[in-house]
Structure 1
Amino acid sequence: MRVTPLLFAFILFSHLAFAQVPQVPREIKFADMTLRLNAHAQREIQQDVDALYRSPQYFQMKLDRVNLYMPTIERVLREEGVPMDVKYMVIQESSLIPDAVSTSNAVGFWQFKKGTAEEVYLRVDNQIDERKNVVSSTRGAARYLKKHHGHLDNWMTTVVSYLMGLGGAKGYYGTSMHGKKVVDIDKNTHWYFKKFLAHKIAFENQVGKLVSNGTYLEEFRVNGPTDFGTVARQLGVTEAHLREYNKWSSNGKIPGDRTYTVVYVRDGSTPPRPALASNQPQTDVEIYRNNQSAYPRVTGNTSRATQPGQIKVNNIKAVQAAQNSSIEAFADRIGKNERKIRRVNDLKKKDRIEAGSYYYTKRKKAKAKHAEEHVVKAGETLWEISQLHGIRLNSLKAKNRIYKDKDLRPGMVLKLQDYRKRNEEIEMARPSTPKPQNPPARQVAQQETQTAPARQNAPSQPAAQIFPAKPAESRTNTTVHKVSPGETLYAISRKYEVTVDELRNWNNLGVESILSIGQDLIIRK
């Protein structure tokens, strides 16, 4: 074959691009930690990085999957308040193959076993397997990791706990790593974490690039019952296309027990935030309401959001809090004046900094830059709304003539740019009236994956658990089970032939509850 100068240049460029394998540095920033690598650890991790780059064709195939799914994964992790660095775990776990199955029968993007998946409220049965749904499984993984971090207080050991389980990580590390922010990485560091670092180094400068075929992933929230054929016609794609990218439904049916996210591929570059649409009729207000999950708008180096000078929130310089603390401790950590942090964030001296939340380091604006309105959610405060949109608290109050949180009502449409006129009625968002459905056994208010059907058009909520009143019990005999070492809710549910949800309801357990050895659990038979 005759090699033209143009073809030769292309081959040379491709070779050089892949020849430049990232080199493992002596120091790595990870989550809220600084990792110091000795020479042995550098060599060991470098071998894994080199292996990932060994085949340019294979690396590009994996990279395309990464850049197709990663905007959605990043959005969910951001909503859950989990460090962005955690996203590299999903590459390590499954290479972003939706129906990947391990030798131990762990399945999907985040490689959940059935019992663990059910404990983070994923549906797994012969019809639906949410482990293969990128939105559902990512939210489940974020919950799982947050729960473990609450006990381990260290993101390195939390990553390792994903392999070992919480009990295994506690036994392996004890309390030696609690709260440590500077850690030495050497030959004794757990292999799983060093493998994780290899994936972080290999992909962190590649994430965010265009997929090679010029496409991106879009999300569509579906409230069933319906099927892929119906949804495909609505989206203008083929049913085969939906089946290819939504392997979580084994038969193409979408049940009505909760809201499911269907994904499909579109031509073009990824929007600033993944678009969220729904299959339900909407008013103009409802269309905006479903898009409220796009706020706050976070740009910049989100993998280092907890470091000053790395990100902007609503186009204003900001920092994400790495841990719960006082305002004074937070300001000291990011090198800012405490009084200024309080002033630009409308905080009081007694207020606390919450892990995962964003705090501005420059003054907020007199009006929101992007959104014109905000629909009030249940339990929301004026301060939370002002932070969400980067608008000064006093400006928000003045624009809407509302000065106290007690005057807010769910569904109120607040103005973020214009002023409400004197005697002008506050608009209320009109709820849609979907077809009545039987409520699921348990309802979890979330932004995508597990919203109760009766509230399918309600505003997006922060990750929080809502447990309805317990139904009348048909079981009459009560047994008390004492938790043994290593037992999980799933194992106990199998033992007594009940469901995990029933165990949670009988014992008032939330998704982040941890079983203790010797704990008494009520079993109704």
Structure 2
Amino acid sequence: MIKKFVGGLSLILSLFIGMQSVMAQKIKVSETMYFAGVKLQLSKSLQAELKKEAEQLHRGGVYFDQKLQRIYAYMPVIEEVMKEEGLPEDFKYLPIQESSLIGDAVSSSNAVGFWQFKKPTALEVGMRVDGSVDERMSITGATKGAANYLKKHNRYLDNWVHTLLSYYAGLGGVKRHINNKYKGAKSMKVDTKLHWYVKKTLAHKIAFESYLENIPPQKYYLKTYNRGSGKTMRQVAYELKIDEDILKDYNLWLKKGRVPTGKTYTFVYPIEGPSRALDRLSPAYAHNDGNVPAEIKDYPAWRRVGDRVKKINGIRGIVAQRGEDISDLATIGKVSEIKFIKYNDIPAHRLVHEGEIFYFKRKKRKAPKGVDFHIAQYGETMWDVAQHYGIKLKSLLKKNRMHEFDPLKPGRKLFLRDTRASRQAIEYVEVEEPQKQAPQAKQEWKPLPAPEEKSAGGEAEKEYNSPKSEEVVVEQVPEEKPQSSPKKVSRAETEPSASTSTYHTVVKGETYYGISRKYQLSVEDLLALNGLAENAPLSIGQQLKVKNGGVTAKPKLISSDKIHKVQKGETMYKISKQYGVSVEDILKWNNKKDASLSIGEELKILSSLTQ
């Protein structure tokens, strides 16, 4: 069922290489496009309108990132159901448009779920909606219902573009907006008079089609489970060896009690994927362009409960340090990565920045008593504010009547406990804009030489996407300490000579892949030269050996086999951390296609030492 996960490395990098404006510039709308097998010939003005709308959909910073992660997770399931139901694949963009793939989304007209069904229509197409079950919140149940609805309409309209509009206007209402000459047509000429709902769906296809051509490797993907009839959520969670709260988050359709009998209801649940490649992508993908979070004024005090663990709003949390990642922080908090990701409203592969706040338990719906408002500062996002006050991002957005893609303007007064009244105007307060540091003169930088050789380096390159040719200073690493701890450097990308350099100093934004390309190495050779595991994090200022006497060194392996017997509650990732190896290695050594485990299963562990 789960497909299209392994794409080319060039695609993976292209999704996360820069700022939103760069992404928007890549959108091209040709004069011809297809929707559900219907050829659409677009006027010039309509091409421009669709391009603008698609570019708007690419904006939103961390919210766009989160939407993209939901799309990557749910889309393989949606595509499979649509294929089984015989619905054209292009309709997969409709739930993105309707709900941003948020299972419990509710519209102002009381439409609910992934496909935004009102209760009467949901019942009409065979979904169950009552106090025990609401299939509108089931990704499989709602998709089947939508397929039934659309196929029924197309039998009358005989045109999938008109059928698309009927999803909004209904079978009776759509007749006022369509031309009967296109009934049964396989080609249509359209211009800006095309109904706005159809234009919006076409814009979603343009905006997200390239992302879905090859879904990049994911930390977690969704599997389905159909044998829950008559069982409780707890019983299903036990069978799947997954935390019950996590299972609930992905299956909001089961409101209470047991799964009804007499019909198949499908659970979806996350399972660790075989690839963790996104861990090492450029920090340009992280929210706020990788900047240190803005300082929050009137910040509630932390209460210390341990060495690093503290409490705010009654919730255990931690302030991230340099070089830490999601796995490190989840381990400190003694929670699974899946829980950690859900608790902190972040994508699975998100990079961690020094100074950011993360929690080990679910955040609350409101701020502590006495903390009623927050004034937005320059550089802040709604995610920053939610984290600083220990509030669920979703709750914070609702209290301020904001959508996830709405920008946060400096000076806005944000409600932290109550909900802003619908007729109450948004208030703004004047806030001081931080002063920008003037650029300094450039000085030559050389990579650190190895003890036995001299190295040659190039000049520091301009910061990626810098609007001007600003010159920056890179702090030089002392030569007498080739293996010193990482030193702080400025945001500049170095360009050492690939032919003669022996050591490379890591700067902000670099990846193993980018460094290996500079020195004409494979990623595997680069890791082997430095005795690093595949998932080892990069730190700014870290010294990497990139040449060994002109010849790439191959590691000498000293190995011995171990057998690990899987215990209750263990995951593939937990086992990999226990033995200091990667999940991919365990899968390869045991000829496993995925990371699923059974209690008592024996796994072969190859213990290797690089010399």
**Bin for the TM-score computed over the shorter chain:** 0.3 to 0.5
- Relative to its length, the structure with more helix (as a share) is 1
User: Normalised by the size of structure 2, how large is the TM-score?
Assistant: 0.41
Please report the TM-score for the alignment, with normalisation by the length of structure 1: 0.48
Over alpha carbons, which structure has the higher Rg?
Answer: 2
